[in-house]
Structure formats: C-alpha cells, structure tokens
Amino acid sequence: MSDPLGGVAELRGALDDRRVSAVELVRAACARARALDLNAFTHLREEAALAEAEDSDARRARGEARSPLEGIPVALKDNVCQAGEPAQCASRILEGWKSPYDATAVARLRAAGAIVVGRTNMDEFAMGSSTENSVHGPARNPWDPECAPGGSSGGSAVAVAAGVVPAALGSDTGGSIRQPASFCGVVGMKPTYGRVSRYGLVAFASSLDQIGPFARTVEDATLVLEAIAGHDPCDATSIPEPAPALAGALSGDVSGLVIGLPREYFASDGADPEVLAAVRTAVAELEQAGAKTREVSLPHTPYAVATYYLVATAEASSNLARYDGVRYGRRAERVGDLLDMYRRTRSEGFGAEVKRRILLGTYVLSAGYYDAYYRKAQQVRTLLRRDFEEAFAACDVIATPTAPETAFRLGERAADPLRMYLSDVFTVSAPLAGIPALSVPCGFVDGLPVGLQLMGRALDEASLLRVADAYQRRSDWHERRPPEAA
C-alpha cells in the first residue's frame, strides 16, 4: 500500500525542495484512496487532477506558486460542487448529475493552487451522524473499521485521518464536521455562519449550513480556512468582511485567555466519563500554558437538540422540494401525470432518513403546527444565542467535549433515529447561535479518538485556532496514525 501523505506544511517543504512533485502527490493520494477499504471516496478524478498537477508543478518551477496550498491534493465532500464533476450527495435522486459550476469555496481553493483529487462519502444530503445513510454504503472508521466515522462528513474525516489527503472540505449543519473530526482523530472546523460562502453547497438547512476544513493540524486547517473564507456576493448571507488573516493567530500564546467551561456540558450523566476526563485533562494542559478557566452556564443547552431538529428539518423540507424529477438527476420511469412524477421520483430517490426529515419538517411547518413547533424553535434559538452572548461576556472561548462518546459501532443506531440525533447534543448549539466552533484531538478511550470542542464569538475564528494550535504544540495525539492506515 502507498504511504500516507504528510500534512500541508510537510508536503509544501517537499514540493519547494523538489523532493516530490504535485503529480506524484496526486498519484499517491489516488493510489491510497483506492487501496484503503474504508469507503471514504465516492469519486476520484485522477486524470483531471494529474493535468492540474502538471500545471501546478510548472507554476512552481517558474517561481509562481500561488499560495501555501499550491500543488496540495485535497478532497471535497460530495455536496460541495465542482464544475463538471458529480455531486450526488450520497443520494439516489442525484445519480448521474454533474455540477455546472464551482462552489465559491472550491473556486478559491483551486485559485490557491490546491488540487481536488476526489469526492467523499457522506450521509445522504448531510442528514445523519454516522455516514451510514449513504447510497454508497457506510464509510468506515480507520481506528476501527467496525465503527462509524461519524457524520455527515464522514468520508472527508476518514480521508484526512487515513492520510489520503492532508486536508478536505466538509459541511457542518449540526455538527457534521466536528463530530466526525472527533470520531476520526482529526481537526475539523465550522466557521462563523456567513464566513465561508454557501454558493455551490447543496442546501440542507440554509440558516445553519457552513463549509469548513478538515486537517490533521490546526495549522493546516487554518491555511484552508484562509483560502476559502471571505465575502461572496453570490451568497446573500455571506458576511461582508474580507477573509481574515489567521496565520498570525497561531502564536502558541494563550496566557491570560479565559476558557469558559459550561456546567451543562460537563454534567456527569451527559457524556462518557472517560471522554469528560480526557477533555478536562486537555483543559488542564491549556491552564499549564497560561490560560485561565472559569465555569459558565448555557442554561438552554437541554433544549438545543429539539430546537435544532425542528429548525433543520423545516428548512430541509423546503430546500429538498427542488428534487422533483425536472431539473436534476434521476426521474422515476414510466410516470403518469406531473404529480405522479413528483411522488414517484421522490419516493424512489430519497432514503429513509431524508424522508423522515422531510416529513417532520413538513409537519412542523404545516397549518396548525407552525406556531407550536417551528416558531417556538426559532424563539428558543434566540434564547440559545443569548446564552452564548452572556457566557462570552465572561470568557474568550468555551471548551466542551465535541461528542458525548467515542465512535459507535456501525449499525448500532440505525434503527433508532432519536438516539442518533442525540449524538449531536454538544454540536448543535454553535450553528444555532451562528458562532464558530472546532474539534481538536485530545486523547483516546479504548483506542478510539476523543475530540475537544472549542466555541468562540462570532467572527473570532482566530481565538479558537490560537487555543487549538497551542494545545497541539503541547500534545501529540494528532501524530498518532490509525491502524487501518499505517
């Protein structure tokens, strides 16, 4: 089997010293993607990527490297569009469909010289927490292939954890970047809502969705975020601020910075005690480095999962109305009238979890239930936002476990949707409040990775990255390699 690829910083050095070419990196990434039996990729575009790598090598030879990402192979979650490539979202309904344009995040990555090698497995339309709801079958966790990699961006997390690519894009609506990052032992970040353009991201829940990076180090994730962030007129919710310069934030200095520990997230009945212990140890390490800690309260936390599943499914039911057999992908065969075409196309094309969420969302938006469910959830969303505003008056970042557990076994929750939803208990609040959050590896329990989640003020990605980077300078969890990818 081909060797795992190093991180961006390492590969960049090798490219600069002509010890390796972008062409060789693309070949190595594709070979490794094929050799690993983890079902992380749904599509490889090796030929096109090799042609782009040749151009990249030529630019570098002329001294015209575009950015630190020049010639670096990356992967995209299958809901982030790239022109001429499939974007199936792990759904039968988008079988055969090819994207007519680049997502802004993809256009920016490519403009920075990064080379997209392929597309990664996910839960159908990003609905799930395990990457089991995929028409391609489940992706597997490289730390234990009988376990789920988390989801919905499981394939991207696996691709990075297994050393196929040093970085990948995912999307996070209720934890879909951070929870798989936690389960696979990599860094994953959901930026502030509006920080990264959603143009070209297949919509699930538009007021929550954000594209963000996976990488093995905070330094690498920062390079990717810098490349993709910033205002985009094609997304009306894009924040009209220039892309922040973030590399300067990675100073290793956290002295005086205040880390808030929300008591609701550390309740003994809310998470695996060994996960909590690993997170506490990581926080103690940051205290050693000069950070201060204080207890804070986010009192509406117990209502976050309910709020999330009402808001997200309502928006999903509306967003997924567009898959009607007219404009995209697959239409049912031998349909009668228009209504019959809609019904049969959608019934054949969507999987069970997507149908469940469309039904729930349709129900909570329907006459007689709108106020009791949807409007109520939007009001509680306001209360959750206020919780964070008050907490951030007393601290700079908030530290919690990313997930209440380590990776669960494949199939274990497939028959219990509510139990699956509850694995998002610590990740849904940040998107509801619109604030940035990341997961950084902070230990292992029984051989499976644990993630430390850091949440910050809106637009303050810099503090999160500073703290997470400071932690990685003092820990080596991110240097461990999963057994399936040795």
Partner 1 sequence: MSAITRDEVERIAGLARLELSEGEAERMAGDLATILDYVEALQALDTSDVEPTANPVPLETPLRDDRVRPGLAAEVAVAGAPHAEGTAFVVPKVIEGEEG
- Residue 358, interface with partner 1 (CB under 8 A)? yes
- Residue 360, interface with partner 1 (CB under 8 A)? yes
* Active-site residue identified among 56, 99, 130, 152: 152
H or E segment at 440?
A: strand 437-445
Name which of residues 158 to 217 contact partner 1 (CB under 8 A). 192-194, 207
Report the SS3 class of residue 265.
helix
Cα-Cα end-to-end distance for the chain: 9
The amino acid that residue 385 corresponds to is R
- Residue 423, interface with partner 1 (CB under 8 A)? no
Pick 63 or 96: Cβ nearer partner 1:
96
User: Total binding residues for partner 1 by CB under 8 A?
Assistant: 75
Name which of residues 458 to 477 contact partner 1 (CB under 8 A). 458
The verdict on whether omega for the bond into residue 152 sits within 30 degrees of 0, i.e. cis, is yes
Choice from 310, 442, 452, 465 touching partner 1 (CB under 8 A): 310
Choice from 40, 115, 186, 432 touching partner 1 (CB under 8 A): 432
Asked about 176 being catalytic, the answer comes back as yes
H or E segment at 119?
A: strand 115-120
- The sign one gets for the Cα dihedral 260, 263, 268, 270 is negative
d(CA 417, CA 415): 6
How big is the chain, counted in residues?
A: 486
Residue among 234, 232, 230 at smallest CA distance from 244 = 230
The stretch near partner 1 (CB under 8 A) out of 64-72, 113-121, 373-381, 444-452 is 373-381
Asked about 347 being catalytic, the answer comes back as no
- Residue 241, interface with partner 1 (CB under 8 A)? no
Pick 265 or 342: Cβ nearer partner 1:
342
d(CA 21, CA 13): 11
- Residue 233, interface with partner 1 (CB under 8 A)? yes
Choice from 2, 67, 237, 281 touching partner 1 (CB under 8 A): 237
- Residue 101, interface with partner 1 (CB under 8 A)? yes
The stretch near partner 1 (CB under 8 A) out of 54-62, 141-149, 247-255, 297-305 is 297-305
- Residue 297, interface with partner 1 (CB under 8 A)? no
Q: Token pair for residue 270?
A: 């809310």
Asked about 152 being catalytic, the answer comes back as yes
Q: Token pair for residue 249?
A: 């934030």
Pick 117 or 312: Cβ nearer partner 1:
312
Pick 262 or 436: Cβ nearer partner 1:
436
Percent helix, strand and coil across the chain, each to the nearest 5? 40, 15, 45
In the complex, the smallest distance separating the C-beta of residue 155 from partner 1, rounded to whole angstroms, is 22
Q: Binding marks (x or -) toward partner 1, 396..415, rule CB under 8 A?
A: --------------------
* Active-site residue identified among 130, 176, 317, 429: 176
d(CA 213, CA 171): 8
The phi, psi pair for 277, rounded to 5°, reads -65, -40
- Residue 66, interface with partner 1 (CB under 8 A)? no
Tokens 């509306």 found at:
318
Report the SS3 class of residue 292.
strand
Just list the catalytic residues.
Answer: 77, 152, 176
